[in-house]
Amino acid sequence: MDAVRKDIYNSEIPDFCRDCGARLGGVCGALTPEQLTEFSRQTSRKVVQPGGELHGQGEPVHSYANILKGVVKLTKIMPDGRQQIVGLQFAPDFIGRPFSIESEFSAEAATNIEVCALPKAALEQFVNNISNFGHRLHKQALNELDDARDWMLTLGRKTAREKVATLLHLIATHIAPDKSEVLHFELPLTRQDIGDFLGLTIETVSRQMTKLRQEKVIHVENNRTITVHDFGRLADIAGIDG
């Protein structure tokens, strides 16, 4: 780490960050190369398997993380076991409630994920010393708030059919490789996860997926690989736009 390699194009950026997909987005986009170096010294890359917990509901938050790859689900669970996913996060989102208090939900890997974790103390140091850093976190919170409110409309007022279409639309816009009319992607969620996100049972989710398949709105392979034939049609069914 002392002998920093340099090249013409990325002269000051630390090795550690050079190949990172999240470098320009999320909180890291706020950092100068020197700050990035300092940042990278305090963080550690972690790989987490599906189902692995980043933090549990009711636990104090002691660590934060930047998602580099994969999907993280935020879930709430009631004492009797009923479960609700209250947020999905994709690269380069930031995980963890700043100004701690204990977490009101658990954060769990939905797919294989790769994160850049940093301890609470480091986060606080960055917030205090880097002017843009707090601002970036604020913006992320506002985005999550907008997403949460969109989803409240989905949960409260949409039919099962619209809900499933809305979910597919959401996933597609976040992880599909291109923005053409025909989209192709891997579902990062199980049917159970989808049910828990939409406030439905797995059976209802399955039935609605089957219907969309029969109507040729989507094509499904191996239960997880989805092709959307007509993105506009999907948005229409989801009740998005006017």
Partner DNA sequence: CGATGTCTTGAAGCAGTTCAACCAGGGTGG
Partner DNA sequence: CCACCCTGGTTGAACTGCTTCAAGACATCG
Task: Please report, as ranges, the residues that interact with a copy of itself according to CB under 8 A.
Answer: 74, 76, 78-80, 82-84, 86-87, 97-99, 104-105, 134-135, 137-139, 141-142, 144-146, 148-153, 155-158, 196, 198-199, 239, 241-242
Q: Looking at beta carbons only, is 51 or 242 nearer to a copy of itself? A: 242
DSSP 103: -
Looking at 5-13, 21-29, 139-147, 155-163, which segment touches DNA (CB under 7 A)? Answer: 155-163
Please give the biggest Cα pair distance in the chain.
60
> Pick from DNA, a copy of itself, none: which does 139 bind, CB < 5 to 8 A by kind?
a copy of itself
How far is it, in rounded angstroms, from Cα 91 to Cα 137?
Answer: 15
Q: Which residues pair with 220 in a beta bridge?
A: 226
How many amino acids of this chain bind DNA (CB under 7 A)? 21
Site residues for DNA, 182-211, by CB under 7 A, read 190-192, 199-207, 209-210
Beta carbons within 10 angstroms of residue 101's beta carbon = 8
Distance of CA 193 to the CA centre of its chain: 14
| Binding flag, residue 159, DNA (CB under 7 A) | yes
In the complex, minimum distance from the CB of residue 235 to a copy of itself, in angstroms, rounded to a whole number: 12
Q: Could you tell me if 113 and 72 are in contact, meaning their C-beta atoms sit under 8 angstroms apart?
A: yes
> Pick from a copy of itself, DNA, none: which does 98 bind, CB < 5 to 8 A by kind?
a copy of itself
> Pick from a copy of itself, DNA, none: which does 182 bind, CB < 5 to 8 A by kind?
none
Residue 17 CA: distances (Å) to CA of 10, 25, 41, 160: 10, 12, 10, 42
